[in-house]
Amino acid sequence: MKLFEHFSLEWSILQQWLIIAGIALAVFLAFLFLARKSRNLLRNRLIKRMDDHLLADFLAGIFGTLVILAGLLVVFRIIGLNGVISGMLAGAGISAFIIGFALKDIGENFLAGIILAFKRPFRVGDIVDINGLKGKVLTLNLRDTQIKTGDGKDVFIPNAVIIKNPLINFTIDGFLRYDFIIGLDYGSDYQAAIDLIRKTILQVPGVLESPKVPGVWVMELAESTLNVQVTFWVNTFQRTISDPEVKTQAILKVLTTLEKAGFNMPAHVVELKNYQGKDFKSSIPSSLL
């Protein structure tokens, strides 16, 4: 009889713990659901107001994390771990020091992420170069920033690395410049060639006519050619044609137009001078010279 009563008491205690555990689990799952819904709702509202996906995602992620932490505190209270919470609050100073030292890199990246979110040196979709890694920004997380390189690799760069190193943003203002060099034969009509290049480059689809105007300048007096630098701008906000395709078409169109107009673009020319008046010795037959 006593044994039966003992088992009944233990089963009653077990039932009570199972009920408490079930309630705690249900509450925690409810907070997870609430965190996800509130994060998405806050993200959509922030995007509508500020039109900045990067900052909206970052702030919504922080809010969702806070909701989950609040859920954990409620779960601790349900299962009767109030003493644990009090102890955690009482030892917050020492705990913060220990945890801060142990998770120094995580905390550093988190603070760097907050700085990046509010300073906003880049947006989602921008082309950036971070410490030698070039790619398109996909997202900013609490710890790292994800970019996709030109060859399809996804790179996760710690936020602290971005803060500590120079960052090049190729598309932040909507304009990106490209250039190439054309070598004109000495003795050509240089001004006519420059005018023709300037007129031709404006006919290439994707090259901006304003507010950024293409430029054509004499770059240097090389050994065999007069080198002319051609620069043009593309719109990084409205890409109907890829930048490499625009540059390819610009070079081909300029070369074709110059050749049709009779301008020569020689390769490297070597001039030989004979000061002694003697014949040059060569293995090449004289008929080919």
Give pLDDT, residue 154.
93
Domain 175-260, CATH 3.50.50.60 — does that match? no
With bands split at pLDDT 50, 70 and 90, how would you rate the model's confidence at 237? confident
Please provide the CATH number assigned to the domain covering 122-169. Answer: 2.30.30.60
User: Residues near 39 by Cβ (< 8 Å), separated by ≥ 6?
Assistant: 60, 61, 63, 64, 67
Tell me whether domains 122-169 and 175-260 share a fold: no
CB 219 within 8 A of CB 229: yes
Q: Region 257-269: what's the mean pLDDT?
A: 84
Q: Is the pLDDT of residue 97 over 50?
A: no
Give pLDDT, residue 258.
93
Q: Is the pLDDT of residue 281 over 50?
A: yes
CB 128 within 8 A of CB 135: yes
Q: Region 95-122: what's the mean pLDDT?
A: 68
Residue type, 30: A
Q: Region 120-137: what's the mean pLDDT?
A: 87
pLDDT averaged over every residue in the chain: 79
Give pLDDT, residue 102.
47
pLDDT tens digits along 19-52: 777 777 887 888 888 888 877 787 777 666 655 5
Domain boundaries, the chain: 2-90, 122-169, 175-260
Helix (H) or strand (E) holding 98: helix 92-102
The two three-digit tokens of residue 224, written as one number? 């065999």
Q: Region 139-166: what's the mean pLDDT?
A: 88
